Structure 1
Amino acid sequence: MNHKDTGEFYVPDLCRVRAVFMLLITSELFVLVLAIVQARNSWIDWNYFGLLSLFVQWTTLTSAALICLLRPRLARMSVGRSTLTIVLLVVLDVFAFSLFADRVLHPGNGGDLWQTVAKKLLLAALIVLIVLRYFYLQNQWQQQREAEMQARLTSLQARIQPHFLFNSMNTIASLIASNPEQAEDAVLDLSELFRASLRTDDHLIPLSRELELCQRYLAIESLRLGSRLTLDWQVSPGLEQQAIPPLSLQPLVENAIYHGIQPRPEGGTVRIEIYPRGGFVYLMVQNPFVEPEDRQHQGNRMAVTNTQARLQALFGEPAVLKHSRQGSIYTVTLRLPRRTATRKDE
């Protein structure tokens, strides 16, 4: 099995400072353990620790540099070949430094030189195999976790489809006889919404695209509610590329209409405010509060619950979806970390 790109390579990117730093810390802890075992009359043999630490750090840094330079080629190999190549690189590196260190520190020690070097090579090969096995298992676990998250996101996003499709089809059916042109426009708007719900591969999209979907949905609802529906948009500039899960704001707007506008004969205003603050972007949807009389819109509440689950899966704890009521105004606030949508997200 070949790796498709360097992003799927199971060995961490040793071109990054953080990865090299963690590798150095781990190797230093291993040296500390050997120095404690080596000590005879004290807790630790500091001379042995210093010399071995210098040797291990140099071999670790040079091996990491070689793997970093060869990473694009290693990533195109199978797991077995790349593992064998890395082991050979490290063993050759250890061999070169072992010869240099033993000839400088122990000149004339020719009898035991090759036996000492052979032990170091064997130990180095075993350690590298253990470390690579750990990297491989960690990579497999990460891929499984991402696959499970993708399946969960796909399932949650698919659940959003029925609740706006059913209501929109009712609106279109009522317009076919009375105003076929508006019915045709509504079909086009609905097709865009439905197309968006089918794009289950999109984890995140630009905020501008989500707002366009909301506007299409509101265009359909405006045909049904007429003058009973008033919209108040307050969107701060410069947030067009803010990353947001697809069909996450639209269910909140739909809830505002079905819980705050539809039950009122006089209708009301839905206010949509989006603004940045600190490292976050806030999306606020407000509508008149109406005391619920039944459970007929339980599906919409489920859509909000699903939206919250998707946010947690994609952003974790920084993403928050909360509800509040102040007098006769009901507010749903969505907080997202400030992040730009990229092509990789879509």
Structure 2
Amino acid sequence: MPDLCKVRAVFLLLVTSEVLVLLLAVVQAKSGWIDWNYFGLLSLFVQWTTLTSAALICLLRKRLARMSVARATFSIVALVLLDVLAFSLFADNVLHPQEGIAVWHGVAKKLLLALLIILMVLRYFYLQHQWQQQREAEMQAHLTALQARIQPHFLFNSMNTIASLIASNPDQAEEAVLDLSELFRASLRTGDQLIPLSRELDLCHRYLAIEALRLGDRLRVEWDVEPGLENQAIPPLTLQPLVENAIYHGIQPLKEGGKVRIEVRPRGDFVYLLVQNPKPAQTNSQHRGNRIALSNTQSRLRALFGEPAVLKHSQHNDIYTVTLRLPRLNANTRKPPTQRI
């Protein structure tokens, strides 16, 4: 069902109908480019008909949505044609009085034109709905593939660290195995499109605990998380790869190590997540790995949220910052926003 309760959908209908009126006024003109009198009267008629029909469909949308496609289509067509008939009789009797068969001839032409336009518009909305379903299916497959590509990023160094701890500190090795298992469980849980921010932060803590065993005092972490954002929706394994990226390309190349700063703050209708790390001299392989990680994350955000989600990176005074902007959304809704007309 077209959602004509939204301003954007009604606006598109008005613009489309006005373009059609303009074309008819150009064709109708006997002298000059356009018949302005005809254009004005027809615009008034078409816009009032469009607005009232959209309002009626909006009010009856829930009831129409429970019908089959055929019955809903027939109901919408009948509703709009009755609306057109009422305005046609009003226009012919008040604005342009006519008598006899001429009145019904003009009304019949308006009803036929309205029927053709309604069927084209409904066909457009139906094809858009089919396209939206296909897009969501492709998006889910794409997210699953991207999520699977993230898995090897934190495997090999973690296994080497655990192997080195088994003999010297088995308790720490056991804790590291538990942390690693939670990370893999998250990467294998491909059915979740969105999770609470608290769960993603917990994964980051577990990942940083594993890396702290390997890097020791070289790794320093600073957290600045605004309270009250525990249920903010975020795609799984979005922040953790950015933290991993900061360690591999910012901390690990430095002999003295450095500090990774993680900040999460709300601002208006968005939540901003920042990951900062020192910027060492960069090799080509580091640059390529950094670019791939950011590209994967950006692809997932674009597939889920569209334009409202933004991922950007910047450098200032040898500090590299990755900024992630997400729309405010409660993870309990379990469904990301979609771009619909």
8 Å contact kept, 1:289–1:330: no
Please give the alpha-carbon distance, in whole angstroms, between the structure 2 residues aligned to 1:113 and 1:267: 87
Shift of 1:215: 0.3
Among 265, 289, 313, the alignment partner of 1:322 is 313
Whichever residue aligns with residue 19 of structure 1, its letter is: A
CA distance 1:91–1:187, shift in 2 (3 Å): same
CA distance 1:303–1:103, shift in 2 (3 Å): closer
Shift of 1:68: 0.8
Shift of 1:193: 1.6
Structure 1 gaps of 5+ residues are 1-8
In the alignment, structure 1 residue 156 sits paired with structure 2 residue 146: yes
Please give the alpha-carbon distance, in whole angstroms, between the structure 2 residues aligned to 1:325 and 1:101: 67
Please give the alpha-carbon distance, in whole angstroms, between the structure 2 residues aligned to 1:122 and 1:129: 11
Shift of 1:234: 3.3
- The aligned residue for residue 80 of structure 1 is 70
Among 278, 285, 293, the alignment partner of 1:303 is 293
1:126-137 to structure 2, matched below 5 A, reads 126-137=116-127
8 Å contact kept, 1:176–1:183: yes
- The aligned residue for residue 168 of structure 1 is 158
In the alignment, structure 1 residue 286 sits paired with structure 2 residue 277: yes
Please give the alpha-carbon distance, in whole angstroms, between the structure 1 residues aligned to 2:120 and 2:307: 32
Among 75, 79, 91, the alignment partner of 1:89 is 79
Aligned residue for 2:155, secondary structure, equals helix
Shift of 1:122: 1.3
Please give the alpha-carbon distance, in whole angstroms, between the structure 2 residues aligned to 1:270 and 1:71: 51
Identity rate of aligned residues, in percent?
A: 68
- The aligned residue for residue 339 of structure 2 is none
Among 173, 179, 185, the alignment partner of 2:175 is 185
CA distance 1:295–1:118, shift in 2 (3 Å): closer
Whichever residue aligns with residue 53 of structure 2, its letter is: S
Whichever residue aligns with residue 152 of structure 2, its letter is: P
Cα deviation 1:64-119 (Å, max 9, x = unaligned): 12211221232233333322221121112222332333344566712333333222
Shift of 1:194: 1.7
1:187-266 to structure 2, matched below 5 A, reads 187-237=177-227, 239-262=229-252
In the alignment, structure 1 residue 333 sits paired with structure 2 residue 322: yes
Tell me how many residue pairs correspond in the alignment: 333
Cα deviation 1:214-251 (Å, max 9, x = unaligned): 00111222233444433222334555455543222222
Shift of 1:337: 4.7
8 Å contact kept, 1:36–1:45: yes
Please give the alpha-carbon distance, in whole angstroms, between the structure 1 residues aligned to 2:249 and 2:239: 16
Aligned residue for 1:160, secondary structure, equals helix
Among 37, 55, 65, the alignment partner of 2:45 is 55
8 Å contact kept, 1:204–1:345: yes
8 Å contact kept, 1:206–1:340: no
8 Å contact kept, 1:284–1:334: yes
CA distance 1:204–1:86, shift in 2 (3 Å): same
Aligned residue for 1:98, secondary structure, equals helix
Q: State which drifts further: 317-326 or 209-218.
A: 317-326
Structure 2 gaps of 5+ residues are 337-341
Shift of 1:129: 0.8
Please give the alpha-carbon distance, in whole angstroms, between the structure 1 residues aligned to 2:203 and 2:131: 36
Please give the alpha-carbon distance, in whole angstroms, between the structure 2 residues aligned to 1:73 and 1:277: 38
Please give the alpha-carbon distance, in whole angstroms, between the structure 1 residues aligned to 2:101 and 2:313: 75
Whichever residue aligns with residue 207 of structure 1, its letter is: L
Q: State which drifts further: 45-54 or 121-130.
A: 45-54
Whichever residue aligns with residue 72 of structure 1, its letter is: K
Q: State which drifts further: 279-288 or 297-306.
A: 297-306
Among 16, 24, 44, the alignment partner of 1:34 is 24
Please give the alpha-carbon distance, in whole angstroms, between the structure 2 residues aligned to 1:101 and 1:78: 34
Please give the alpha-carbon distance, in whole angstroms, between the structure 1 residues aligned to 2:246 and 2:101: 85
CA distance 1:54–1:323, shift in 2 (3 Å): closer
Shift of 1:338: 5.2
Please give the alpha-carbon distance, in whole angstroms, between the structure 2 residues aligned to 1:67 and 1:132: 12
Shift of 1:157: 1.6
Aligned residue for 1:159, secondary structure, equals helix
Please give the alpha-carbon distance, in whole angstroms, between the structure 2 residues aligned to 1:301 and 1:17: 39
Please give the alpha-carbon distance, in whole angstroms, between the structure 2 residues aligned to 1:269 and 1:17: 48
8 Å contact kept, 2:243–2:275: no
8 Å contact kept, 2:258–2:277: no
